[in-house]
Amino acid sequence: MPETFGRVKRGLVKGAILSAAALVLAGAGPSRNYAVQGQCDGYPATSVGMTDGACMGLVWQARAGQDGGRDGPAMPRGLLALEGGDWLVSDLGGWEAGKGALWRLSFDRQQAPQWRKLVSGLSMPHTVKRGPDGRIYVSEMNRILTLDVGAADPASTLRTVIGNLPDNRLHDNRHPLSSFVFDTNGDLLVNVGAPSDRCLDRQGRGRADARGLCVEEAETGQVRRHAFLGDGRWAEDSTVFASGLRNSIALVRHSSGTILQAENSVDLNDPAHPFEEVNVLRQGGHYGWPYCVDMQTPLPGWSAAQSRCSQRDKPVALMPPHAAPLDMVYYAGAMFPEWRGRLLMTWHGYRRTGGRIMAVEVDEAGVPLSDTNGYYAIYPRGALRYPANTPSVRGKIITPRWDNVAGQHPRGTPVTMAVASDGSIWVTDDKSRAILRIARL
């Protein structure tokens, strides 16, 4: 029995142990706060239903009435572990320019969280990574920057590494956030999100140029390569690495050099379509947006001559529809040896498939393994089948019961993960303003 199928089915059985009262509460209305009881490896334990042998602890959550400008991030997104046990957390702040921040999270002797705002006035910051040179890099909506977080005044050390990225404001365009990953040679691969859902006009027809191509395709919906120049410098000019990508917030590089992208596909009203995709990016590849979804299925509004779906790069595997993958991490920690080498994914989506973290099986190159005729779970309970004879990610949902249970916990909206030195997995939940920690039970 494939693991995806088996885990979904077994998860349904385990879900049945929820009391009738809890199920009634789950329909009573949305929770926002995580209630805690007992311990999860030294942290207050949430009641989120986890896979066998794991628990979810609450590191921090802002309570109602707390000011996001003083008491921690308003919308925690990116996450990076520092030496000594501190963390960096990027704060989106809101879907408007200038409301974001970068915070440092530390702990007092009683392990109570302590926040220090390092930089304010940022525009939709998201990714926080340590570069090959040891410096720390942060993505804003329209630039990549670096700073010295150990300085007395970190804000005074800000330096733009790559500027003039598209200024994709949300209400003018659709995917304003920037993300990046370092290639094996140090080049920066930077996503530029598509400025619309499907590049259609008001009549539902493809907004095409003289060649019949989406008018937005030339400058957006792509991952760009900025050449590494050495000494913390990258070329301002870029080349297109891969295109036809609606939203590439989730990017990761395997130690073998494989670059993976997890696609947030177009936002059709159908809850069962289209499916999200995992793509292995290659130089010059085109992955279908806005013409094709799933395994080369044409989208309405484009003719066959324009879409040419058979000529587009296929995904290596599908994920549940509208799951909204936002982060991928290859797990290399010691706490969960059974997950070592697997690809962890956050599914942030607000629909019935979101609110999950999956540990995906991969081959020696870091490429996800797949099943055919597999199932995926939906909230509040149940499972649906992937399209016949199509590949779907093979693995294990490690948060199988993270739906809303009133008075206990909200449905999860996991964004970014980071593996701590002890092998625990830290997660940001932006809608609930929380930092969570997955550990051995």
- CATH at 117: 2.40.10.500
Q: Do 197 and 106 fall into the same domain?
A: no
Domains in the chain, number: 2
Q: Residue 2: what pLDDT?
A: 46
Task: Average the pLDDT over each of 4-13, 59-68, 250-259, 402-411 and give the range with the smallest value.
Answer: 4-13
Domain extent at residue 125: 62-164
Q: How far apart are CA 292 and CA 288, in angstroms?
A: 5
Q: 54 in a domain, yes or no?
A: no
pLDDT category, 24, cuts 50, 70, 90? very low
Residue type present at position 330: Y
Q: Do 208 and 66 fall into the same domain?
A: no
pLDDT in tens, 271-328: 999 999 999 999 999 999 999 999 989 999 999 999 999 999 999 999 999 999 999 9
403 or 8, greater pLDDT: 403
pLDDT at 169 over 60: no
- Return the structure tokens found at 328: 């991928």
DSSP-derived secondary structure for 192-261? E--SSSS-B-TTS-B-B-TTSSBTTTTTSSEEEEE-EEETTEE-SS-EEEEE--S---EEEE-TTS-EEE
User: Given phi > 0 = left and psi -120 to 50 = alpha, else beta, which region is 207?
Assistant: beta
Q: Do 153 and 203 fall into the same domain?
A: no
Q: How far apart are CA 310 and CA 259, in angstroms?
A: 22
47 Cβ partners below 8 Å, 6+ apart?
35, 37, 405, 408, 409
Whole-prediction pTM: 0.91
User: The CATH number of the domain where 232 resides is what?
Assistant: 2.120.10.30
Residue 285 phi, psi dihedral angles, 5° rounding? -70, 150
Look at the alpha carbons of 315, 318, 321, 325 in this order and tell me if their dihedral is positive or negative.
Answer: negative
CA 10 to chain centre: 26
Q: How far is CA 422 from CA 41, 55, 335, 414, in A?
A: 11, 15, 7, 21
Residue 24, H or E segment: helix 20-26
pLDDT category, 16, cuts 50, 70, 90? very low
Q: Do 124 and 253 fall into the same domain?
A: no
Q: Residue 173: what pLDDT?
A: 52
Q: Do 199 and 128 fall into the same domain?
A: no
Residue 191, H or E segment: strand 188-192
Q: Do 307 and 221 fall into the same domain?
A: yes
Q: 389 in a domain, yes or no?
A: no
> Looking at residues 226-243, what average pLDDT do you find?
95
Give the whole-number percent of the chain exceeding pLDDT 90: 80
> Looking at residues 337-342, what average pLDDT do you find?
97
Q: Do 159 and 69 fall into the same domain?
A: yes
Map residue 277 onto helix, strand or coil.
Answer: strand
pLDDT category, 63, cuts 50, 70, 90? confident
> Looking at residues 343-371, what average pLDDT do you find?
97
pLDDT in tens, 68-110: 556 899 999 999 999 999 999 999 999 888 999 999 999 998 8
pLDDT at 171 over 50: no
> Looking at residues 9-33, what average pLDDT do you find?
43
Q: How far apart are CA 25 and CA 35, in angstroms?
A: 14
- Return the structure tokens found at 120: 């304010």
Residue type present at position 313: D
> C-alpha angle with apex 428: 424 to 431, nearest 5 degrees?
150
* Beta-bridge partner residues of 190: 180, 224
Q: Do 148 and 182 fall into the same domain?
A: no
Give yes or no for a contact between 23 and 389, defined as CB atoms under 8 angstroms apart: no
CA 285 to chain centre: 22
Write the burial class of residue 233 (CB in 10 Å: 0-12 exposed, 13-18 middle, 19+ buried): middle
Map residue 305 onto helix, strand or coil.
Answer: helix
Q: How far apart are CA 384 and CA 399, in angstroms?
A: 18
Residue whose pair of structure tokens reads 């974001």 in the numeric block:
100
Q: 336 in a domain, yes or no?
A: no
Q: Do 220 and 292 fall into the same domain?
A: yes
Q: How far is CA 83 from CA 106, 130, 138, 158, in A?
A: 11, 12, 18, 21
Looking from the CA of 57 toward its CB, the CA atoms found within 13 Å total: 16
Q: Do 318 and 183 fall into the same domain?
A: yes
Q: 31 in a domain, yes or no?
A: no
pLDDT category, 111, cuts 50, 70, 90? confident
Write the burial class of residue 320 (CB in 10 Å: 0-12 exposed, 13-18 middle, 19+ buried): buried
Could you say which of 330, 353, 376 is where a domain stops? 330
Write the burial class of residue 157 (CB in 10 Å: 0-12 exposed, 13-18 middle, 19+ buried): middle
Q: Residue 180: what pLDDT?
A: 97
Give yes or no for a contact between 430 and 74, defined as CB atoms under 8 angstroms apart: no
Q: 363 in a domain, yes or no?
A: no
Q: Measure the CA dihedral 95/100/102/106, to 10°.
A: -80
pLDDT category, 202, cuts 50, 70, 90? confident
Could you say which of 330, 357, 390 is where a domain stops? 330
Q: Do 180 and 300 fall into the same domain?
A: yes
- Return the structure tokens found at 441: 């039970």
| Numbers of helices and strands, H then E, in the chain | 3, 35
Could you say which of 146, 164, 182 is where a domain stops? 164
Q: How far apart are CA 295 and CA 293, in angstroms?
A: 6
Q: Residue 7: what pLDDT?
A: 46
Q: Do 224 and 264 fall into the same domain?
A: yes
pLDDT at 334 over 70: yes
